[in-house]
Amino acid sequence: MNKAPWWKEATIYQIYPRSFFDSNGDGEGDLPGITSHLDYVKQLGVDAIWLSPFYTSPNKDGGYDVADPRDVDPRFGNLDDAKQLISVAHSLGLRVIADIVPNHFSDQHHWFQEALKAEKGSPERARFHFYDANPDGTPPNNWISLFGGPSWTQVEDGQFYLHLFDSSQPDLNWENPEVNDDFEKTLRFWIDLGVDGFRIDVAHGLVKEDVLKNHPDPQGLSNALRLDVDMEPEIRNALLQTVPYFDRQGVHEIYRKWRKLFDSYGDREIMAVAEAWVHPPVNATRYVRADELHQVFNFDLLTAEFQSDVLFDVIDRSIKLNETVNALPTWALSNHDSPRVASRIGAEEARALALFVFGLPGSAYIFAGQELGLPDGVLADSDRQDPSFFRTKGEIKGRDGARVPLPWNGDTAPFGFTTGKPWLPIAQSWKEFSVENEKLDPKSSLHLYRTALVLRKQHMQGAGNIQWLESPMHGVQSKSLLAYRRGSVTVVMNLSVEPQACEVEGKLLVASSGVVDAHNGKKVIPARSCTWFLA
């Protein structure tokens, strides 16, 4: 029997390097800081780490504005530090996934600097999207940046360049073979250095169509693509289907080439996961066809309400859609671009939902700090650094709240993260969330995650698909309960504010909170909690 690829049902821990651990006291996390705490990551029970960008960058967008994708930014260390991190991770049995940013470069990348000095129509400008102004002097079209404001910036000779994000992030022209060749060099560079896979930023955005045409509702489109949890999904989804620069068919040709490159490394089992926000959901399965990428993020859980019908629909649909292409889903409750799940749906609810999804088939992604139950950091506007905050003149607060550094130990902020001043302030109230405190508390979120991930490996990996027992489509208590059986384990989540009795057999393995009682031969599941039972 062939062994399943390592990534099939892996648990992957996302590290935002600037916020993990500062080794030199400058207030910003770095690669040596990550390396020094990989034992903590290993003890959590994960299989791999995903590193958000640590490449050379002016850091106008949290490192996603890359000036040199084949080097380390001095704020994080150097290439030797990257090699050491990868070596230590591998010695601990941890795989390493690097973040790659193929949609755009920083305006400080030498290609863009060359383009600014070059003439109209030059090979240097052909690497990006440079166009002449309209006859009235306006930009080539009315597209709006996802960070607010126009998606075009004018240069000295009158031409405009396209940037779907900040003006410091010019979009690359993937119709130019030079672009693909350069990124293949980047992929090979990091694979040869030892990385085991890639998270592909804006994976759905590389190919643009109808660049000289206006969009019928640019402002509505901009609002839709903020990934704002407060926006009506129906409105966002309807607009997503009209986007001329997301989820175009041409992106799949790019990833077929990349898949051949990954497969050329044989038993290294190099994988890639796509950040692709698309609609309708079936479109996401195109990214994980047999000759393309290995995984695609399921973003629906990042915005899903803590309601049985909503969660059932998201989970059941994702499993069934992935089955059509013989793939497994991915499950993520938080990341660096979204509100932390504890703030979005509540602390107890976040614990319950995490335990619920840890039992599902596929890979689970954990954003560093999620295992501590961290909420979003509360920040003054003067602390904010997200470009979307500045481009919208404060209308959008941005993503900084999810990026506040981790609390490690001690009684006062910044709780061991740094000996200097942290790049974003850490509230004194976060003492209760420190790693040191949670290690000592058997009821802590950290203790729950460690216990659950051990049990996940023991009982869930390779256990096949789920059988729904309680859901909006099954059972009479579906408004309060979601339950499924997978292998020898039954997973029950009570979404109501009151304890609920249900018929379930087996020994209690783990509960997200509260005490599971028995009454009249039934198990009583605490409010807003999830439990696992072993038959």
For residues 173 and 106, what is the distance between their CA atoms, to the nearest angstrom?
Answer: 14
For residues 251 and 273, what is the distance between their CA atoms, to the nearest angstrom?
Answer: 14
Kindly tell me the sign of the dihedral angle through the C-alpha atoms of 370, 374, 376, 377: negative
User: In the beta sheet, which residues pair with residue 468?
Assistant: 484
DSSP string covering 150-172: BSEEE-TTS-EEE-SS-TTSPBB
Token pair for 3? 């062994």
**Kind of pairing, strands 160-162 and 130-131?**
antiparallel
Residue ranges of the alpha helices (H) in 118-201?
Answer: 177-193
Token pair for 160? 């405009």
Contacts 24+ apart (CB under 8 A), 130-137: 130/155, 130/159, 130/160, 130/161, 131/159, 131/160, 131/162, 131/211, 131/212, 132/158, 132/159, 132/160, 133/158, 133/159, 133/160
3-class state of residue 526 by DSSP: coil
Catalytic residues: 201, 275
User: One-letter amino acid identity for 23?
Assistant: S
For residues 205 and 151, what is the distance between their CA atoms, to the nearest angstrom?
Answer: 14
Residue ranges of the alpha helices (H) in 435-522?
Answer: 435-440, 445-455
User: In the beta sheet, which residues pair with residue 522?
Assistant: 519
